[in-house]
Amino acid sequence: MSQVTADTLAMEVYVADGELPEGISYYGSTLLLESDVVLRHYFKVAKGTDVSAYGFTGNKGNYYYVDLAAGFGVTVADCVIGDYTLKYQPTCYVRAVLESEAAPENLKQLVTAFYLYYRMSQMS
């Protein structure tokens, strides 16, 4: 596991294209490992901004999110908000955690195990 580093995943970067609607800004993404694997993208929304047309799946205060299925063998759909498109794979999250000095060691171990499991599932 110690051989997997952020450098191992150097090519795993997200790509954002276009402009977000006024009053909405990209905040960050996380990977939920529950009964399903879900990639959750958070957006900060200014008070009074109408978000009804953008397909958000939920919110926590003024942070709205989009959940996308991200299980093994699933090509994660792009996150589209208006004219903005975010291309982000689960391995982008793994890289972000591994290069973060603030991430706890147990999270780094978890995402490393996830990455190794993901790589093995591609080989079978």
pLDDT at residue number 101: 95
Tell me, yes or no, whether 43 lies in a domain.
yes
Tell me, yes or no, whether 1 lies in a domain.
no
Q: What's the CA gap between 74 and 109, in Å, rounded?
A: 23
- Per the model's pLDDT, the better-predicted residue between 116 and 120 turns out to be 116
Reference 70, options 17, 109, 111; nearest CA is 111
Strand partners, 17: 85
Q: What number of H helices and E strands is found in the chain? A: 2, 7
pLDDT at residue number 18: 97
pLDDT at residue number 124: 61
- Per the model's pLDDT, the better-predicted residue between 9 and 124 turns out to be 9
Question: What range defines the domain where residue 75 resides?
Answer: 6-123
Number of domains in the chain: 1
Tell me, yes or no, whether 81 lies in a domain.
yes
pLDDT tens digits for range 58-113: 999 999 999 999 876 667 889 999 999 999 988 899 999 999 999 999 999 999 99
pLDDT tens digits for range 29-54: 999 988 888 999 999 999 999 999 99
Tell me, yes or no, whether 14 lies in a domain.
yes
Measured over the CA atoms of residue 87, residue 65, residue 83 and residue 37, the dihedral's sign is positive
Q: What's the CA gap between 39 and 45, in Å, rounded?
A: 19
| pLDDT higher than threshold 90 for residue 121 | no
Phi-psi region of 49 (alpha: psi -120 to 50; beta: other; left: phi over 0): beta
pTM: 0.86
Tokens in use for 79?
Answer: 């996150």
